[in-house]
Amino acid sequence: MKLIIKKITDSTPAFRTYVEEKLLPLAKLIKPFEKDGEMEVAIDVVRTSRHHGKGDEIFMAAADMRLPKKIIRAEEYAENMRLAVDRVRNALKLEIEKYKTQFTEIDKKKLDKNNKER
């Protein structure tokens, strides 16, 4: 799995490492679908605009994961960047699980259909 960090508010090496540590373990979940080893996850972590300089800062993390025949997108908001990344990771994990369930159900239907034809 290839991780592409597009936009990031805090571009320190420590935060980049944190993002990698959180998202790269998702590669284990998508390994069965990865044919060429070129699965990509693109992530943006940015601060949303502060209205007239008042109020709390809100950070948004958005990630796109390209799977066979599907693009999974997760977008989460939080009070700090690390929490936003954690929430995006959890959302991606849930979507991957849904995708795996759909993918295996389709495969089972194809197997049943092929067995009936024989």
Quote the Cα angle for 45-53-19, to 5°: 15
Residues 6+ apart with CB under 8 A from 7: 44, 45, 46
- CATH for 12: 3.30.160.100
The string of pLDDT tens digits covering residues 13-66 is 888 888 889 888 888 888 777 666 567 788 888 888 665 566 677 888 899 988
Q: What is the pLDDT of residue 91?
A: 94
Q: What is the pLDDT of residue 90?
A: 94
Segments forming the whole domain that contains residue 109: 2-117
Domain count of the fold of the chain:
1
Task: Say what the pTM is.
Answer: 0.75
Reply yes or no on whether the pLDDT at 80 is more than 90. Answer: no
